[in-house]
Chains A and B, each alone.
Chain A
Amino acid sequence: MSSVRVIEVEHFEAWRAAARELLREGVAAGDVDFFSPSVQKSLFGGEDGDGGESDGGGGGDALQQRSVKGQGAVAQRRDTPTVPPNFIKYARRVACHRDEQRWNLLYRLLWRLTTAEPNLLHVAFDDDVRRFDLMAKSVGRDAHKAQAFVRFRRIETEDGEQFVAWHRPDHRILRLVGPFFSRRFKSMRWTILTPDESASWDGAALTYGPGAPASAAPAVDDLDEMWRSYYRSIFNPARIKLAMMRREMPVRYWAALPETQIIPEILAEAPARVAAMLKYGAAGTRAVSAAEFLPEARDLDSLARAAAGCRGCELCERATQTVFGRGPSAARLVLVGEQPGDQEDQQGEPFVGSAGEVLNHALAAAGLARDEVYLTNAVKHFHWEPRGKQRLHKKPPSRAISACRSWLEAEMAAVAPRVLVCLGVTAAQAVLGRDTRALKTRGVPFASEWCERTIITWHPAASLRARIDGERERIARELAEHLQVAAQA
């Protein structure tokens, strides 16, 4: 007991020098007790006899064994004992740990390694080795966190710009990470402050100084805002995993991280952002569809009533009303256009504007009465954009087309027509999908997924838009001809 040597060391190098000397003298692990200057040890006062070995019976046992059969080993030892390089590497880390017993643990391992157990580090299950591993790991993690969470703030000083950071590590890792920062930020002049000590780089040399409180570092940086914008934009509000975030970025570091200030804010706005994403069918949510608005009864009247309340996509928001199909359920022909226009939107009926007039003429020319066909559109709400005071027709987004498909399917099922006529190529694309080869040939019946006899013809509005002489008449004539083909198909 009285022969226990008490040695004060602060940094790894001091311990290393002392340990080397002790080994040379053959001082066993149980006969020395290291301590760090900041730590008041009761053992030092000599009030407690069994001091140095209070931790870990396992280690003690191993030492006992050694002192019985290890005498020869002590005698054979060379003056500078060799230890596995891994030991030095990890011992350097363990030396930064705040555990008071770290120096004793290191010396005990060193002793065991250089006397009877040169392969000790390979025995992962040994209690000393395990503790050594765990301590090295926790310091390693802490050093890694410092590399990650140090945030420099730029200040202008008399001799140019300077970067200052304040960071609170768990262990005394500054000397472990100092070289990393000087390699990485070679061209900057920087200082990292921690409560225990500080490190500075002037572009050429790394020096260490006393610790400092958080208030010693600048509180803001002119780039904070930009960084926060970035942080906000990459966050996915549909997935919140706070526990995960806190585990990887513990709250004790937050004070020094500019981005953490907006965490409460972006969490608060997350539900609204998710709602917006839901509405537009974004990441991780189901696609929009009118399907859930379909009524149980599938007759045309029930369908029309239910469609009046459809909110299957966002088009309903800016349109006046749903323009559902019109016509008898016994119709042999279903005529489908792309979407209602301005007039239709206001009156709530398909094909009532000037295009409707062209259609009426063509129907009559083909020998068909308007009230014996079923008229509808691929999309049931008017999609428009303002142009001055006018509401200009805009092609419906494909999302709306697919959302609205459920209505058309229900109408086709209710009417079960003999022939389906698509009015215009855009209508045909909306109904049949983009890749239909048949899109090129107007007026020739073909089988589609919708109907055994499907025909594509002109949209009546095409005749109104025609600028070339004679075009107008030709389109109207062809429209009528195609309708006649359809009537006879």
Chain B
Amino acid sequence: MDVRNKLEILADAAKYDASCASSGSKQARAGSLLGSTEGMGICHSYTPDGRCVSLLKILLTNYCIYDCKYCINRVSSDVPRARFTVDEVVRLTIEFYRRNYIEGLFLSSGIIQNPDYTMEQLIAVARTLREVHRFGGYIHLKTIPKAAERLTIEAGRWADRISINIELPTAADLVELAPEKRREDVDEAMGDIREEIDQRRDDRKAGLKPPTFAPAGQSTQMIVGATDSPDAAILGTATDLYQRHRLRRVYYSAFSPIPFADDRLPPASPPLVREHRLYQADWLLRFYGFKLDEIVTPAAPNLALDVDPKLAWALAHRDQFPMDVNRAPRELLLRIPGIGVRSVNRIVDSRRHRAIRLADLRKLRLPWRRVQHFVAAIDHLPRAKDLESEWLRARLGGNATGLRQLDLFEAARSAHSGEV
């Protein structure tokens, strides 16, 4: 099989992974001759499905000895198989990079022989790129749970970002659908990575110059909708991971039925809008000062689909509105539906110098239809009747068709921008 055939199979097999960002690595790698990472990742192309192409995202191989039910590459699946050699991946990465097609490499793999062996192969690719080719571009390695700690640590030495997929929201979900994977193993590996990252940070603080270790941090991916775990479980796990292991990102990937599926799996994808709502909630938790129990509760463990979680909160706390943009503190401005972090910063910055009027807010290009009911400015006060009315939710929420049109792309977009 020639390299092009392999590329077709192994790129196709990798497209189910949602974590494709190439951002977050600023420091230049000493001594590199080709490639740089400068904070924001660049989308070098877009496919007709509206998705960004930023990295060469491939599997080293899609052979796998595991049998995770939700995975197209599981041992019991009938897909065509292929395996790259280390050199083939290295060459593709370098040659694509030199033409400015990509920001770098996202390399993952099915598990062959055993976790350690697989991990060694992934590391060999990254090490060759860095040491032989002096490659300074972005590398994201997906690490294998249960691989030896020294291997995880070596991976971090060469990669900008490393990630381990948590796969499913709860340990019980894993037991059911991914019998060979255990939450404890994933947890342990994430803990190892975090310790290593902390160590480097402390060293730097102490004035030392420690060798690089995963400067873009670690991330993970969770499949949504393969089991019936509610959003509360999903967001609870995410919050826990952010806090305990200080993950940079948790990616939510709507389960999509795969060829030759196991009958324990649901026959259809969850609505894409659910994935979108999870990303929105995730941003609220990380950047808007929301607490988990303000977003989901035991009584209502799932996010509303018709309105975004911020609007849902506002509708449930109407007595707190309208919020005066000239007076309300920053953390309360962040609670206004339709005003994102950036606009809040601008408001706070500007109002020190000049009182804000309706015309000013309009210049911020806010979704006024929504915002108008929740803000007060010098010459604007929403009608109390509207704010209290029953139909406000129906009027501001998406209708059924609108929701259906929401697509993976929007989800991906909210994953990046986080404007809620």
- The complex places the Cα of A225 from the Cα of B364 at a distance, in Å, of 44
Is the interface on chain B under 10, 10 to 19, 20 to 34, or 35 or more residues?
35 or more
Which of A241-285 touch B at CB < 8 Å? 241-245, 248-249, 257, 259, 263, 266-267, 270, 277, 280-285
Which among B3, B47, B51 has the greatest number of chain A C-beta atoms within 10 A? B47
A147 at the interface (CB under 8 A from B): yes
A233 engages B8 (CB within 8 Å)? yes
A124 engages B100 (CB within 8 Å)? no
Q: Which residues of A have CB within 8 Å of B385?
A: none
* Among listed B35-43, B282-290, B292-300, B389-397, interface-contacting one: B35-43
Q: Which residues of A have CB within 8 Å of B11?
A: 230, 233-234
A236 engages B261 (CB within 8 Å)? no
Smallest CB-CB separation from A397: which chain B residue?
B260
A233 engages B363 (CB within 8 Å)? no
A144 engages B99 (CB within 8 Å)? no
Q: Quick one: CB contact mask for B40-66 with A, threshold 8 Å, 1 for yes?
A: 001111111111110011000000000
Q: Which residues of B have CB within 8 Å of A149?
A: 44-45
A123 engages B4 (CB within 8 Å)? no
Output the least CB separation between A110 and chain B (Å). 18
Q: Which residues of A have CB within 8 Å of B36?
A: 180, 183-184
Q: Which residues of B have CB within 8 Å of A154?
A: 98-99
Q: Given that A123-B350, A283-B257 are contacting pairs, would A245 and B44 also be in contact in the complex, using a CB cutoff of 8 Å?
A: no
Smallest CB-CB separation from B8: which chain A residue?
A233
Q: Given that A227-B99, A234-B57, A402-B263 are contacting pairs, would A286 and B7 also be in contact in the complex, using a CB cutoff of 8 Å?
A: no
B34 at the interface (CB under 8 A from A): yes
A125 engages B360 (CB within 8 Å)? yes
Q: Given that A187-B134, A240-B48, A284-B269 are contacting pairs, would A233 and B15 also be in contact in the complex, using a CB cutoff of 8 Å?
A: yes
Contact among B15, B45, B259, B407 for A249, CB-based, below 8 A: B45
- The complex places the Cα of A314 from the Cα of B269 at a distance, in Å, of 21
- The complex places the Cα of A243 from the Cα of B46 at a distance, in Å, of 11
A150 at the interface (CB under 8 A from B): yes
A231 at the interface (CB under 8 A from B): yes
B92 engages A226 (CB within 8 Å)? yes
A185 engages B34 (CB within 8 Å)? yes
Number of A-B residue pairs at CB separation under 8 A: 192
B260 engages A398 (CB within 8 Å)? yes
Contact among A187, A235, A286 for B47, CB-based, below 8 A: A235
B124 at the interface (CB under 8 A from A): no
Q: Given that A151-B100, A163-B98, A223-B99 are contacting pairs, would A397 and B78 also be in contact in the complex, using a CB cutoff of 8 Å?
A: yes
Q: Which residues of B have CB within 8 Å of A398?
A: 76, 260-263
Q: Given that A124-B364, A125-B356, A433-B263 are contacting pairs, would A242 and B48 also be in contact in the complex, using a CB cutoff of 8 Å?
A: yes
Smallest CB-CB separation from A263: which chain B residue?
B48
A172 at the interface (CB under 8 A from B): no
- The complex places the Cα of A412 from the Cα of B402 at a distance, in Å, of 42
Q: Quick one: CB contact mask for B17-43 with A, threshold 8 Å, 1 for yes?
A: 000000000001000111110100011
Q: Which residues of B have CB within 8 Å of A245?
A: 46-50
- The complex places the Cα of A221 from the Cα of B99 at a distance, in Å, of 9
A239 engages B408 (CB within 8 Å)? yes
Q: Quick one: CB contact mask for B367-381 with A, threshold 8 Å, 1 for yes?
A: 000000000000000
A186 at the interface (CB under 8 A from B): yes
A64 at the interface (CB under 8 A from B): no
A248 engages B43 (CB within 8 Å)? yes
Given A185-B100, A399-B261, list of 13 further CB < 8 A pairs?
A122-B349, A124-B349, A180-B36, A226-B3, A227-B99, A233-B12, A239-B408, A245-B46, A245-B50, A281-B261, A282-B256, A283-B256, A402-B261
B residues apposed to A, CB below 8 Å: 3-4, 7-9, 11-12, 14-16, 28, 32-36, 38, 42-53, 56-57, 76, 78, 92, 95-96, 98-101, 134, 256-265, 267-269, 346, 349-350, 352-354, 356, 359-360, 363-364, 407-409
A residues apposed to B, CB below 8 Å: 119, 122-125, 130, 144, 147-154, 163, 165, 180, 183-188, 221, 223, 225-227, 229-245, 248-249, 257, 259, 263, 266-267, 270, 277, 280-287, 289, 397-399, 401-402, 405, 433
> What are 10 A-B interface contacts by the 8 Å CB criterion?
A123-B353, A123-B354, A124-B360, A125-B350, A227-B101, A234-B11, A244-B50, A285-B268, A397-B78, A402-B262
For the complex of A and B, list the 3 residue pairs with the smallest distance between their C-beta atoms, beginning with the closest: A241-B50, A244-B50, A402-B263
